[in-house]
Structure 1
Amino acid sequence: MANPKLFSVIDHGVAEYDMIEDGDRILIGASGGKDSTALVEYFGSRLLRLARHGGPRFSVEAVHVATEIGSPLAPELVERFRAWGVPLHTIDVSVLGRLKPGRKMNCWWCATQRRTELNEYAIREGFNKIALGHHLDDILETLLMNALQKGELSTMPPRLKYEKYPVTVIRPLCFADIPMIVRHATESGYISSTCTCEYQDNSGRKSARGKLDALTGGSYAEKTRLFEALRNVKPAYLP
């Protein structure tokens, strides 16, 4: 049976950046949203293909970092993970309890604490790769945010080997944009949850998303060309 369109696009990113290698132990950060859920579904499908057709041998598990200000994974979603053959673990983290006196709770702090727990769990349990649900729009929005706010050309690389830690971050959705993921999640009937806590402030990300839409008109072709520009740098024609 042919792969869904999204899975074919993920396959392209995985192959382009050698994201899956023989002997890998991959840990997926599962937030409960459509992006990471699509990633779990993909890896479950990839394991089935491995059993039928061969390829790099790897194992995969998922972990959900739960906080006192976020929503738990829906039971229906947990059942989907089980059906896809991807073991799920949950880590409970008190992000409010870790907040220093006088500091205000915000999205950056929460994300930092959850990412720290994810990294530490991966290292402790012997995973060598962490798969995150960042997609093409996330990568391009981060590019615009860093350029316009920091004055630097940088973003989320599809594959990043940590210098200080024995893990590599991979972003298999690097060639998939939001509309593509939404279509797939809708067709698959995902129960998607997003953060609705009272502390969230993602105005910077929303502004960058608006700028990206204005720049590309929402065109997938133009988004991918902007992404390719990051791999086709002409230093002689830059300041």
Structure 2
Amino acid sequence: MIKIKNLSELQNLKVDNYFFEVLEDVIKISNKKEKFEINLKYNKDNLISTLETIKKLTEIKILLEDFSEREILSFIESKGYNKLLWNPIGKAMHQFNMIEEGDRVAIGISGGKDSIVLFNALVRIKKIANINFEIIPIHIHMKEDTSDISELVNYIKKFGYELQVIETKLGNLVSGETKEKNPCFLCGRIRRGILYTTMKEQNINKLALGHHKDDIVETFLLNIIYQGNRNIMRPAYFSEEHQVTVIRPMAFVEEKNIISYSKKLSLPILEEKCPYEMSSDSKRLKIKNIIKSISEETPDVRSNIINSIKDLF
């Protein structure tokens, strides 16, 4: 993968057997080994499309580090994701009236694929919808975590936003001497508490979380099997305790489509270092594997379960 700030940086670039020349309105791509040449016309106002075409022709992934205002939407929407991402997100946003005029919406940016795709989705909504609202991205960072978040910070900045980074010693609380039986639940609860406190301090009225259809289905089955109740992750609800509205715009989006989109755009996903996430003791992982197995015979199993619990939303 190659990162450039502008198209002029392709001039005289040599990658594998490809050689690039940038002319006034044409990019000349030659391959001396295979003895062919491509003359690719480009539009300075839509470089994202040009870079996608280069990838199709050469399999060379080139990312633009600085976006113009016009290029932001083109980059976010990409191609082929209307049915997989934007339509189900739009359906959830409309059905549960998730965003209203004047809202200040915090996004919990963990650095995983889900939260970054959620950020992209809300930036897209802000650009295409006739609604005036604010987006405030917030990252809770464990001091024990040595991950480099600079790429994540720069990614958010490319769209004109500043990522608020709040440091905490969350690792000690979750994996200390108490040896919490359900560290994932406790970790999520502590992170959420920090977000609620920050929101209150900054007068933020809504919290957007990156949970998707698979999360909702898995949580429902976990609660039935292990807790004996029908509690669910609702797509939207008002927290009386914290006086904020929680929204999950990707409630109808399947995880596999989020993975596909994040790979295509080469999103700056932080490396997962949590020892519990993929542990063989993880009940969620067991449920995920069961659903995956059933989906081989019944591809619509996730949608079927969602449809069966709509009355709980």
Would the TM-score normalized by the shorter structure come out above 0.5? yes
**RMSD, aligned CA:** 2.4
CA distance in 1, matches of 2:217, 2:195: 24
Q: Find the partner of 2:133 among 33, 36, 58.
A: 58
Structure 1 residue 179, shift from structure 2 partner: 0.7
Task: Considering Cα pairs closer than 8 Å and 6+ residues apart, tell me whether 1 or 2 has the greater RCO.
Answer: 1
> After the TM superposition, which residues 41-190 of structure 1 pair with which residues of structure 2 at under 5 Å, given as runs?
41-50=120-129, 55-70=130-145, 72=147, 74-98=149-173, 102-104=177-179, 106-190=183-267
TM-score normalised according to structure 1 size: 0.86
Preserved contact between residue 70 and residue 195 of structure 1 (Cα < 8 Å): no
Task: Report the Cα offset of residue 119 of structure 1.
Answer: 1.2
Query: Aligned in 2, Cα 1:217/1:155: closer, same or farther, shift over 3 Å?
Result: farther
* Cα offset, 1:137, TM superposition: 0.3
User: Does residue 217 in structure 1 map to residue 296 in structure 2?
Assistant: yes
Q: Residues 158, 220 of structure 1: CA spacing in aligned structure 2 closer, same or farther, 3 A cutoff?
A: farther
Residues 131, 101 of structure 1: alpha-carbon distance in 2 compared, 3 angstrom cutoff: closer
| Deviation sequence 1:153-192 (CA, Å, 0-9, x none) | 1210000210212101101110111111011111111121
> For the structure 1 residues 153 and 197, does the alpha-carbon distance in structure 2 shift closer, same or farther, using more than 3 Å as the test?
closer
| Compared CA separation, residues 72 and 166, structure 1 to 2 (3 A) | farther
In structure 1, stretches of 5+ residues that fail to align are 234-239
Percent identity (aligned): 27
Pick which of 11-20 and 83-92 moved more. 83-92
Secondary structure at the counterpart of residue 35 of structure 1: helix
Instruction: Render the CA deviation track for 1:108-134: whole Å, top value 9, x for unaligned.
Output: 333222111011111111111000011
How far is the alpha carbon of 1:73 from its aligned partner? 5.5
Distance 2:253 2:221 in 1: 18
- Normalising by structure 2, report the TM-score: 0.67
1:82-130 Cα deviation digits (max 9, x unpaired): 1223331010111245569841263333322211101111111111100
* Aligned counterpart, 2:48: none
Aligned equivalents of 1:186, 1:136: Cα separation in 2: 19
Q: How many residues align?
A: 229
Deviation per CA, 1:58-102, whole angstroms, max 9, x where unpaired? 111100000123354532222221122333101011124556984
2:106 is aligned with 1:27 = yes
Task: Tell me if structure 2 keeps the 8 A contact 1:10–1:172.
Answer: yes
| 1:195, distance to aligned residue in structure 2 (A) | 2.9
In structure 2, how many angstroms separate the alpha carbons of the residues matched to 1:21 and 1:220?
35
